[in-house]
Amino acid sequence: GNMAEGGHYYNEHDDRAGAPYRGRKGQGSHRARSYGEGPRRDRTRGGHQANYTGPGPRSRLDDMDADVTMSDNSQDGTSQRRSKPYSRPYRRGDGRFDRDRRGGRGGGGYKGDGGGGGRGGGGGGGNSRAKQTCGAETLILVFQIPHGRKYDKKWLMTALQNICSVPFNPVNYNVDNYRAHFYVDDVATATALHKCSHKITDADGYKVEVHMNASGPPAFLQSDLKPEDLELLKQCMGKRFDGSQQALDLNTLRTDPELVSQNIDVILNRKTTMEAVIKIIEKEIPELVSLNLSNNRIQKLDDLSNLVGKVPNLKTLNLSNNELKSDRELDKIKGLKLGELWLEKNPLSNSFKDQASYIRSVTPQTDGQDLPPPIVFDVETPTVIPACKGSCFGSDEIKAIILRFLQQYYSIYDSGDRQSLLDAYHDGASLSMMTPYSTQNPSRSSLGEYHKDSRNLKRVKDTTLRYRLLKHTRLNVVAFLNELPKTQHDTASFNVDVNTYTVLTTCLFSSVTVEGKSRDSTMAFSRVFVTVPAGNSGLCIVNDQLFIRMATTEEIRKAFVAPAPTPSSSPVPTLTAPQQEMLSAFSLESVQPQVRHTYWYWWECRKVLSFSL
């Protein structure tokens, strides 16, 4: 009976048993359907040509099912109707999938998945196969009920549903030879169903086994669309067509509610579906001007190239948010002579070295005609950062005050006695400092002097220690500053960034300081002062935060550019000409007396005055 025929069938197709099914007609169509269309079936039944006749095959299916199932449930066609969109007649050469041999799985999708472990005809549905994923497509989980053929489908489904914790909808329930097969398409349901194995006892006293395989989408999901589906697709496309603009919007077509509600799977990265869409365009709207195919997981443009010559008015093509990987794809549609081509959010844009070559590559061949190149919209993410500028004072008034303040501050700071800095600080001022974590032995460099006071919250976690490292009140602040090593700053080139908030001004600046003759003693720092107004034109420091690190080679190089000044006992470092100039720029006379805010500023010293100890 069936077995023999099945055997015959198998012999016929054995050589294909393990072969990848990809490319039999493009995108890996499968023949995973085994339902009812067993070897007894006349394979030429309505399937080879595209003229599907709905009822025809189905009635045969009904017959078949009536033969093999014991209930009459399938005869009402409901099960078939459920699988209606997916059942697919044979194409030439597409034979029945060797389901029994391989556990009847749908070809494993694009990876040529061979299906379930070699089960014999008799239904030991052992899932020895590892699950395979199917690339871009969803995972479809196949269930097989060995000996399921003998069960009343309704009985079986009901029994399963009764014990299954998750409601499930078996897709494409069918029976072949000895097994019943159906699909579910989400893992949660599949897992719950799988647990139902051996939980139901049939009338013969045997436990019903429920075997699960993962699979790529079976053939019936990847098949050509049936005529009625094509009609629905056409209607759907019609609704997405704007006649006034001659624009067709197929963005994310797959999720179109009309298609989804009819269980029509329109996946444009499948050759068959894209072909169908192209044909509809050719036939119905050849005057198309604008076509949007974004968000359709399109990987290849082979089918789209069929539009060349068929849609002469097409000027705009949107292929953004797809999966085009190679610029060679674009070659296929050069003939379209587009004016605009949208390609962002495709992997392919990464393969171009620069925008120019990208644009060049999509410029259509014009046979010598001078057409303007298409406008390629490839909205890359920005990679240009704004240009860095120097000091940002906000106004000349502020600048004068701040520079004056800093000059005074640092002349004291570098003098060897910082006590008089008390006047610069608010009573309730705070100071803390931090050094970067360094793998270098800290004691070898001057930076080591600062490590013990480093209040890096990323490293110091103890609350008490954190508090101790924060110097509070100006007395403590200045006492601490007095303990720090003697320094020499270059006040000449300070880079100061000023920002204000109410009466507060923050000032970020960085500087290079030398504390000794050796390279190890050249450090750089960034400092933040937060100040409030004081007096007429003064500043009063409320917060002082100091970050000290080793100077970079570049900074050191620049630091020692200035010639060594003659030693001087004056606490004020000898000024170079530019420095003199700067100082005179804000002599007391030029300082505006009306100052409402105090400003903090950071100076960045680029040069260090070298000195002899």
Partner 1 sequence: MEPGVFGCFGPSPAVPGPSDFKTHADQSCRYAEEFVNIYYDCMDKKRRNLTRLYLDKSTLVWNGNTVSGQDALNEFYETLPSSEFQVYTLDCQPVHEQATQGQTTILVVSCGVVKFEGNKQRFFNQNFLLTAQATPNSEQPVWKIASDCFRFQDWQS
Q: Does 428 bind partner 1 (CB under 8 A)?
A: yes
For partner 1, the closer CB: 130 or 388 = 388
Q: Does 97 bind partner 1 (CB under 8 A)?
A: no
Q: Write the Ramachandran bin of 579: left for phi over 0, alpha for psi from -120 to 50, otherwise beta.
A: alpha
Q: Does 18 bind partner 1 (CB under 8 A)?
A: no
Q: Are 299 and 323 in contact (CB under 8 A)?
A: yes
From residue 552, how far is each of 58, 522, 527 by CA, in Å? 80, 9, 17
For partner 1, the closer CB: 416 or 428 = 428
Alpha helices (H) along 195-270: 219-222, 227-239, 257-261
For partner 1, the closer CB: 232 or 530 = 530
CA distance linking residue 391 with residue 426, whole number of Å: 25
CB of 526 to partner 1, least distance (A): 4
Among 53, 133, 408, 456, binds partner 1 (CB under 8 A): 456
What is the identity of the amino acid at 172? N
Q: 274, 293, 304, 281: which is closest to 346 by C-alpha?
A: 293
Residues in binding contact with partner 1, number by CB under 8 A = 56
CA distance linking residue 557 with residue 67, whole number of Å: 93
CB of 529 to partner 1, least distance (A): 10
From residue 353, how far is each of 359, 360, 361 by CA, in Å? 11, 12, 11
CB of 270 to partner 1, least distance (A): 33
CB of 533 to partner 1, least distance (A): 10
Among 382, 444, 566, 569, binds partner 1 (CB under 8 A): 382
CA distance linking residue 522 with residue 560, whole number of Å: 10
Backbone angles phi, psi at 424, to 5 degrees: -85, -15
Q: Does 501 bind partner 1 (CB under 8 A)?
A: yes
Helix, strand, coil tally for the chain in percent (to 5): 35, 15, 50
Q: 74, 124, 78, 116: which is closest to 97 by C-alpha?
A: 116
CB of 378 to partner 1, least distance (A): 14
For partner 1, the closer CB: 249 or 497 = 497
For partner 1, the closer CB: 388 or 577 = 388
Query: How far is Cα of residue 200 from the mean position of the Cα atoms in its chain?
Result: 45
CA distance linking residue 277 with residue 470, whole number of Å: 71
Query: What kind and span of H or E run contains 545?
Result: strand 538-550
Among 4, 130, 356, 384, binds partner 1 (CB under 8 A): 384
Residues 6+ apart with CB under 8 A from 118: 101, 102, 103, 128
Among 503, 561, 564, 585, binds partner 1 (CB under 8 A): 503
CA distance linking residue 509 with residue 497, whole number of Å: 6
**DSSP-derived secondary structure letter, 392:** B
For partner 1, the closer CB: 185 or 397 = 397
Stretch that binds partner 1, among 30-38, 109-117, 143-151, 494-502 (CB under 8 A): 494-502
Q: 5, 172, 156: which is closest to 78 by C-alpha?
A: 172
Q: Does 497 bind partner 1 (CB under 8 A)?
A: yes
CB of 420 to partner 1, least distance (A): 21
CA distance linking residue 300 with residue 578, whole number of Å: 65
Q: Does 206 bind partner 1 (CB under 8 A)?
A: no
Backbone angles phi, psi at 528, to 5 degrees: -120, 125
Stretch that binds partner 1, among 47-55, 213-221, 424-432, 445-453 (CB under 8 A): 424-432
Q: Does 484 bind partner 1 (CB under 8 A)?
A: no
Query: What kind and span of H or E run contains 425?
Result: strand 425-434
CB of 409 to partner 1, least distance (A): 18
For partner 1, the closer CB: 395 or 592 = 395
Stretch that binds partner 1, among 63-71, 186-194, 498-506, 511-519 (CB under 8 A): 498-506
Q: Does 426 bind partner 1 (CB under 8 A)?
A: yes
Among 547, 586, 599, 603, binds partner 1 (CB under 8 A): 547
What is the identity of the amino acid at 348? L
Q: Does 467 bind partner 1 (CB under 8 A)?
A: yes
Q: What is the per-residue binding string for partner 1 in 506-535, x denoting contact by CB under 8 A?
A: x-x-x-------------x-x-x-x-x---
Number of residues that this document lists for the chain: 613
CB of 55 to partner 1, least distance (A): 54
Q: Does 557 bind partner 1 (CB under 8 A)?
A: no
Q: Are 216 and 108 in contact (CB under 8 A)?
A: yes
Among 429, 447, 523, 539, binds partner 1 (CB under 8 A): 429
CB of 354 to partner 1, least distance (A): 12
- Helix (H, G, I), strand (E, B), or coil: what is residue 61? helix
Q: Are 295 and 266 in contact (CB under 8 A)?
A: no
Q: Are 262 and 229 in contact (CB under 8 A)?
A: yes
CB of 532 to partner 1, least distance (A): 5
CB of 544 to partner 1, least distance (A): 8
For partner 1, the closer CB: 304 or 524 = 524
Residues in contact with partner 1 by the rule CB under 8 A: 381-392, 394, 426, 428-437, 455-458, 463, 466-467, 470, 472, 495, 497-504, 506, 508, 510, 524, 526, 528, 530, 532, 542-543, 545, 547, 552, 554
